Amino acid sequence: MIRFALFGAGRIGIMHAANIAAHAEAQLTNVYDVHQPSAAKVVAAYGGRVTDTVAATLEGVDAVLIASSTPTHVDLMVASAAAGKAILCEKPIDLDIERVNGARTALADSGVPIQLAFNRRYDPSHRAVHDAIVAGEIGQLEQVVITSRDTGLAPRAYIEVSGGIYRDMMIHDFDLARFLLDGDEVEEVFAIGSVRVDQMLTEFGDVDTAMVVMRSAKGTLVHINNSRRSVYGHDQRVEVLGSNGMLQADHPRSNAMVRYNRDATTARGLLPFSFIERFAQAYVDELDEFIQMVKGKKSPTVTYEDGRRALLLANAATASFRTKQPVAVSYA
């Protein structure tokens, strides 16, 4: 039984707590949140106890799940590693690449297993596409097209510190692109964007509608499009073209009902509006893989270095958007 400390009892933290409680090999032991009543709610629902310091939270557990606000991630990872705890940390590691680079050695030296929570790598459809590529099913990979459209903007306060759409939202797609490219790293990024949904974003130099094209070392071309608005639900898809065919990861569905009526035929219901619902299975599989890793049965699918590289791509896209120039990416 793997005992978990949970940092952060917000929306994502609650979801992780539920998954820990439901996992046969895991239990929720300590829960920490700067807002203690939030932690207390999680404990009431999923067990464990509320703790009031980081040190106390790290006591008596095998692993930590970090779902607190982004600026706390690095310090919590370092403290957890120092205490010898396995780490599952929400994305991004940090918005500041210097801080990410700074913690690298200490974390690597600690030897604790670390997994970054890029949920999309665990989505059954994306994973099926990845596995088919790696198995050679479509031959040489030539194009990757990723679509991610969220159902609405986060509140102004969140947007203000989010780091902008490329670092806050598209970072998922950068990681997914790297997952699909399977080691063939992106060398160049060009980004455009515009404000189409909410003019508030102009205050922060941010955009709500964004597109990127990238080229990998081997010459595979990648396109990502993002929008903060999708009235039909959370739209997150992938398409890859290779010398022997195309694969798509289309929308999974909670049921298979199809409608024919006076308005439409072959109509299905809306997509889930929350990413938590959209990636429900992915979050379960992600946690399970982490637990297998803690038990020494698996190596992690998403490493600290993966988190760092996704941020490098997001930074490159942000710079490209601002300078209106393509940006070469260095992973050093």
Q: Which residues, 298 to 317, sit near its own copies by CB under 8 A?
A: none
Contact between 27 and its own copies by CB under 8 A: the answer reads no
**Min. distance of Cβ 323 from its own copies in angstroms?**
10
* 3-state SS record for 108-138: HHHCCCEEEECHHHHCHHHHHHHHHHHCCCC
User: Of 217, 196, 218, 223, which is closest to residue 207 (Cα–Cα)?
Assistant: 196
Instruction: Record the tokens describing residue 269, joined without a space.
Output: 């219901």
Interface residue with its own copies, options 254, 277, 299, 331 (CB under 8 A): 254
Of the pair 137, 203, the CB lying nearest its own copies is at: 137
Q: Which stretch binds its own copies (CB under 8 A): 19-27, 48-56, 104-112, 113-121?
A: 19-27
Interface residue with its own copies, options 38, 115, 227, 301 (CB under 8 A): 227
Provide the terminal-to-terminal Cα distance of the chain, rounded to the nearest Å.
39
**Min. distance of Cβ 227 from its own copies in angstroms?**
6
CA distance readout (Å), 83 to 78, 273, 275, 280: 9, 38, 32, 30
Contact between 250 and its own copies by CB under 8 A: the answer reads yes
- The single-letter DSSP state of residue 97 is H
x/- mask, its own copies, residues 191-210, rule CB under 8 A, reads -xxxxxx-----------xx
Interface residue with its own copies, options 246, 277, 295, 322 (CB under 8 A): 246
Of the pair 104, 196, the CB lying nearest its own copies is at: 196
CA 302 – CA 154 distance, rounded (Å): 26
**Min. distance of Cβ 253 from its own copies in angstroms?**
7
CA 121 – CA 45 distance, rounded (Å): 28
Contact between 268 and its own copies by CB under 8 A: the answer reads yes
Contact between 330 and its own copies by CB under 8 A: the answer reads no
**Min. distance of Cβ 267 from its own copies in angstroms?**
4
CB atoms closer than 10 angstroms to residue 188:
15
Contact between 258 and its own copies by CB under 8 A: the answer reads yes
Interface residue with its own copies, options 140, 154, 158, 295 (CB under 8 A): 140
DSSP 34-53: SSHHHHHHHHHHH-SEE-SS
Contact between 145 and its own copies by CB under 8 A: the answer reads yes
Contact between 247 and its own copies by CB under 8 A: the answer reads yes
Of the pair 28, 114, the CB lying nearest its own copies is at: 28
User: Of 151, 152, 148, 160, which is closest to residue 201 (Cα–Cα)?
Assistant: 160
Question: Are the CB atoms for 290 and 300 separated by under 8 Å?
Answer: yes
The DSSP H or E segment spanning 12 is helix 11-22
Q: Which residues, 83 to 122, sit near its own copies by CB under 8 A?
A: none
**Min. distance of Cβ 288 from its own copies in angstroms?**
13
**How far is residue 19 CA from its own chain's centroid?**
17
Number of residues that bind its own copies (CB under 8 A): 78
Of the pair 58, 238, the CB lying nearest its own copies is at: 238
